[in-house]
A and B are shown apart, each in its own frame.
Chain A
């Protein structure tokens, strides 16, 4: 069989995936809090063809007996590049950015395949814990008196007690660098609403992006605590990690490096397609042996 065509087809598939990934990074260049994805290539399983015993140890040969043949390349080593994006100042009190390799924890209600909520034996909806760096947050009104701090999708942002952060309506909200939420109401009285839970990322390779700037641990992780670690910023945990209100984190996609990657991938794709064409020409020549 013509291995050339298999090699080229396999690696063109991998290059296509990489191209998609670059396109996704570029599309999210202006998404607040977006972290670029990256991946690299790996050569695929090598087969060793046996050779005739008289032919495999002739004088002048360098390698051990057998003819090793590769099978192309595949995409491997997916990871999220958690490099800090630039922080820009805003006037929105709900623009809450994170500095350092950390994420906010949010609770997302679980739904089964039919779109029905998953409940426990008490009838309460089960929640899945996910992480995000997405801002702006918003205040979702839960009653006439109070609102809850949520993401723009409406998922509650968790405090250090794993409960949502509830703030009275019509107050001025303040969040300090440690994530403590305070407010000043119309009468000028200061109140305390809780502390936002901040999780430090220990193993960025074991996080998977599930879209909407949300992250979950990879499927093969037994204990999420090995991937994310809670830090209490009040007690000096988490060096270099801080919560910044009135700030927006820009995406960490660098246009120049993405474009360079794009060019290289495109050229590699082109070269592989030329190899495929050459393989096709060879098959055509073989077919024309008998005129």
Chain B
């Protein structure tokens, strides 16, 4: 059978998945705290081709021809956790995180690439990321970079979904008066402007391998099962909370447009391959043997 027909079909499907991912990035170009997804393609596991029964030896292999991949699929969509731009809103409940956590190997800081990875001594190291911690509807912790918070009816700090924002002890944060009275320091401590008293400290979680986070929708991430629990950030982590600002989405519109065009044209190229195989089959079926 013509193997390439299926290979080209898998190419079309993979390009469509890639295109879906890019269009979701474009859709979330204006979503605060959104991290763009990158689609990783992988070829199907390779197989070894043999010449069989070359000289009538009853189906035994006589010659190795070589290895062959039979297609491609989208293996994973992984979020790219680069810092988004901060945009000022001057609303007291809007908080943005700026994080650039360094990892030391043998006392030297690791230089991470644009996707937040580095290879040191043959081992992949991921750049840790910082997140606000909120309590999801199921009681489990959720992690988010979307810091648009406000007070609910009883004075508890909640995010745009109405989920409780947690303090350093994992408890809800209760603000006695209005949010205008609250000043948030760069290390995430909520201070009463009038009295100078500390109200609470935000729980900012440091996730050492951010790829253990699964996108949950509505700005939230949850931790994959079995992953190491996040720890609160420390002073050395260089994570800064900015009040009156939001972190914009880190989607690059120009790059997305280029990626989208590439995916579309690759899709078209694979379609042409299928058409060409179709013509080959047409020849085989209709033309061979015609007198």
| Chain A residues near B (Cβ < 8 Å) | 2-4, 7-8, 10-11, 15, 18, 40-46, 48, 51, 54-55, 58, 61-64, 66-73, 76-77, 79, 81, 83, 101, 201-206, 221-223, 226-227, 264-265, 267-268, 271-272, 274-275, 278-279, 281-282, 285-286, 288-291
Contacts and interface: CB of A to CB of B under 8 A. Distances in A.
Contacts of A288: 271
A4 B19 contact: yes
Given A48-B214, A68-B214, A289 B26 contact: no
Nearest to A275: B23
Interface residues of B, number: 68
Contacts of B78: 62-63
Contacts of A79: 91, 150
Contacts of B215: 43, 46, 68, 70
A31 B126 CA distance: 53
A69 B28 contact: no
Interface string B168-179: 000000000110
Nearest to A39: B160
A272 B27 contact: yes
Contacts of B27: 7-8, 10-11, 43, 70, 72-73, 272, 275
Contacts of A62: 40, 76, 78, 126, 211
Interface string B237-251: 000000000100000
Which 8 A-B pairs have CB atoms at the shortest separation, nearest pair first?
A: A70-B24, A11-B27, A45-B217, A64-B224, A77-B160, A3-B20, A205-B150, A4-B23
B153 A203 contact: yes
A11 to B, nearest CB: 4
Interface of B: 12, 16-17, 19-24, 26-32, 34, 37, 40, 42, 45, 73-78, 90-91, 93, 126, 146, 148, 150-155, 160-161, 177-178, 180, 211-212, 214-219, 224-225, 227, 246, 253, 256-257, 260-261, 264, 267-268, 271, 274-275, 278
Given A202-B178, A203-B151, A222-B153, A7 B76 contact: no
A15 B30 CA distance: 9
B264 A271 contact: no
A275 B17 CA distance: 13
A67 B77 contact: yes
27 contacts: A2-B16, A3-B20, A40-B30, A46-B214, A46-B217, A54-B45, A55-B75, A61-B75, A63-B214, A63-B224, A64-B212, A64-B227, A67-B77, A70-B28, A71-B24, A77-B148, A77-B160, A205-B150, A206-B153, A222-B153, A264-B30, A271-B256, A272-B27, A275-B22, A278-B19, A282-B267, A288-B271
